[in-house]
Structure 1
């Protein structure tokens, strides 16, 4: 079944907050040629560290988000995180909080985001991971949310505020749709709990570099090196480090410490959302992205 030109027409019944799941026979958008796991396997064979940028959907507008996705893909992003705007982003720092407010003020919603992704994802060379708070999922219901992600060609999902003990039903529904549920761990996570998180995480483990909220930092937390070394002894699962990474020297240091991927969010979001124009923001993001990727092996 071919994807209709105006494929957003399939979404309204699903995304108005009803408890109705979409028909599983609905067409989904083609995904990246590689899965998340296949992407990290390729990086391992090439002895490279993955570059994973984060942007907020709809900031400053969805047209710019679409252009930014194409730009980041062409500049060498191995995976891209797309943040779903939420009015109470408890784990995000001031830059991403401001970004979500701008997006929501502009009237961006889940339906529009999924429609945009469904159009652009087939043109990208890398998988897309959606970053969403759990309340956003529950407003729709788990089954319909996963069907929408599948429809948009999204390969992974991060839900930062969902306790590990409560992931069961969400993980089951995500995996049923071939969507990876990527879990987070902090340097302070206990060894016992960390092992369970590593085992359950799909695709890779997201290692938070520091406690607290997202946002650029001057220096890396030295605990990350210790945690990476310990994790490498226990698992072969890829580990990507995020929160506070904003400089070429940061990504270079993390690659030396053994990270399989580096996640850069606030620094990119700030350039894209706070520039005088979308065109200027995209130019700055391109220059910044190239400075980061050139620092990686």
Structure 2
């Protein structure tokens, strides 16, 4: 049983919903990521998604694209993400997963990447560009090592394919709320509840919704539908607007606390 499985079992027993902020590793430097990460649990986050900067963004909107560019320009390398886990995340207290392109995993080597990530303290990986037809090898390695392989389902994914994706995933399913790129939105599709409800009947995996969650109001609307919420651009934007690492940690911590309050209020 992975730490993510354990987390969602505890949340279900407590009738709570997971809150997962997204941080870009190394934006604008790895020390800033570490400083923000250290404040997440006390602010109300349950786990954290660490984005691995990549030169060809996958469904990332302008805010996250810019954060990747800042990190790469400052010299970010994959080893820095592992260093973040090994050297800076001790005592963070919440599971971390990488958001990483399959091309990076493939280049490193499937089993080697999983081993290195686990040794650095990561509990799983979200792999947005991994085709379900090519997922079996990585899925098997991850299951063998209790490392969660989290895959994405979108509004345009055919229903039979959604079931296939669920069958090769572990930890939780990442449900993309909108057709398009990441970014903050004030309105979400009217059929979102029905689509997530159908998927819930097909799998025992928790379903977390991401893309488009801009603040407490959006979070409160989605919390009753999902097992967890993923918040990316709104967090990354607050880091970009901060003057230094300390203010970034303060600004993100305050925002996460607001989201936590909204989510709990909507599901209590």
Indicate whether 1:136 and 2:104 are aligned: yes
1:253 to 195, 210, 221: 221
Counterpart CA distance in 2 for 1:223 and 1:164 is 24
TM-score, normalised to structure 2's length?
Answer: 0.94
Measure how far apart 1:143 and its partner are. Answer: 2.1
Counterpart CA distance in 1 for 2:80 and 2:199 is 39
Indicate whether 1:293 and 2:229 are aligned: no
The gaps in structure 1 that reach 5 residues or longer are: 1-32
Indicate whether 1:216 and 2:184 are aligned: yes
Measure how far apart 1:277 and its partner are. Answer: 2.2
2:229 to 262, 276, 289: 262
**SS of the counterpart of 1:139?**
helix
Residue 60 of structure 1 is matched in structure 2 by 28
1:278 to 238, 245, 250: 245
**SS of the counterpart of 2:98?**
strand
Cα pair 1:121 1:128 within 8 Å, conserved: no
Counterpart CA distance in 1 for 2:217 and 2:91 is 31
Cα pair 2:22 2:236 within 8 Å, conserved: yes
Measure how far apart 1:170 and its partner are. Answer: 1.4
Measure how far apart 1:176 and its partner are. Answer: 2.9
2:156 to 188, 208, 219: 188
**SS of the counterpart of 1:81?**
strand
Cα pair 1:36 1:203 within 8 Å, conserved: yes
Counterpart CA distance in 1 for 2:172 and 2:12 is 13
Residue 29 of structure 1 is matched in structure 2 by none
> What are the equivalent positions in structure 2 for 1:12-23 lying under 5 Å apart?
none
**SS of the counterpart of 1:263?**
strand
> What are the equivalent positions in structure 2 for 1:40-79 lying under 5 Å apart?
40-79=8-47
**SS of the counterpart of 1:114?**
helix
2:210 to 242, 252, 274: 242
Residue 151 of structure 1 is matched in structure 2 by 119
The gaps in structure 2 that reach 5 residues or longer are: none
Q: Whose radius of gyration is greater, 1 or 2?
A: 1
Measure how far apart 1:34 and its partner are. Answer: 7.1
Aligned pair count? 264
Residue 11 of structure 1 is matched in structure 2 by none
Cα pair 1:34 1:126 within 8 Å, conserved: no
Residue 198 of structure 1 is matched in structure 2 by 166
Indicate whether 1:230 and 2:198 are aligned: yes
1:93-130 CA distance string (max 9 Å, x none)? 10000000000111011112201211233312211010
Cα pair 2:36 2:245 within 8 Å, conserved: no
